[in-house]
Amino acid sequence: MYESGDWDVDIRMPSNVLNSLVEYTTLRVDPVERVIALSDAKMLEAPFCYLAGHKLVQFTPAERKNFERYVRGGGFVFVDDCNHDIDGLFAKSFEAELARIFGPKALKKIPNNHPVYSSFFQFDGPPNTGNELNGWGDDLVHDYLKAIDINGRVRVLYSNKDYGCEWDYDFRNKRWLVVDNTRFAVNIIQYALGA
């Protein structure tokens, strides 16, 4: 949770992803989603953090300090732009925050053979979402993800693909999908935890 913007998006997504972790992996999973303020020191104890939104992101000094401390200390943050627009308000403001914290060249595209794409299930790059070409964003299918790498390991994985919206449905509805679209979430978390 962060003070600016609209962090509380895709409210069914966390339970759906937690269900996938239980279904596919042997990870010990706390079935309760924990919402922790970015400015709260308790967030530094989380093994994995998710941050998303549509609107302007302007971290407070305490949020900025914790974000940097968490990432440099070995934490992992998956950030999802719900606008799926590379030039949108969330993208521009969040990327500016990253540049302010880690430097203007820290956020880079990752190759489509990066280990995050094979950490559990096999992907040939970032899976497409049904939200990318709907006329609300930049009308591009984003064929890459970006990341900030610290000491040879991705610590911030950044998506303009709006995975959160793609995964925002009741987990019981997965039975209607030909292929479970939350499998990539499993990959992200497996990679993040080094499992």
Express each pLDDT in 54-96 by its tens digit.
899 999 999 999 999 999 999 999 999 988 777 889 999 999 9
The residues pairing with 64 across neighbouring beta strands, listed in sequence order, are none
Quick check: 136 pLDDT over 90?
no
Alpha carbon distances (Å) from 53 to 82, 100, 150, 159: 5, 19, 24, 11
Q: Yes or no: say if 110 and 125 are a contact pair by the CB < 8 Å rule.
A: no
Express each pLDDT in 29-56 by its tens digit.
887 788 999 999 999 999 899 999 989 9
Alpha carbon distances (Å) from 59 to 3, 82, 164, 180, 187: 7, 18, 21, 34, 28
The residues pairing with 109 across neighbouring beta strands, listed in sequence order, are 146
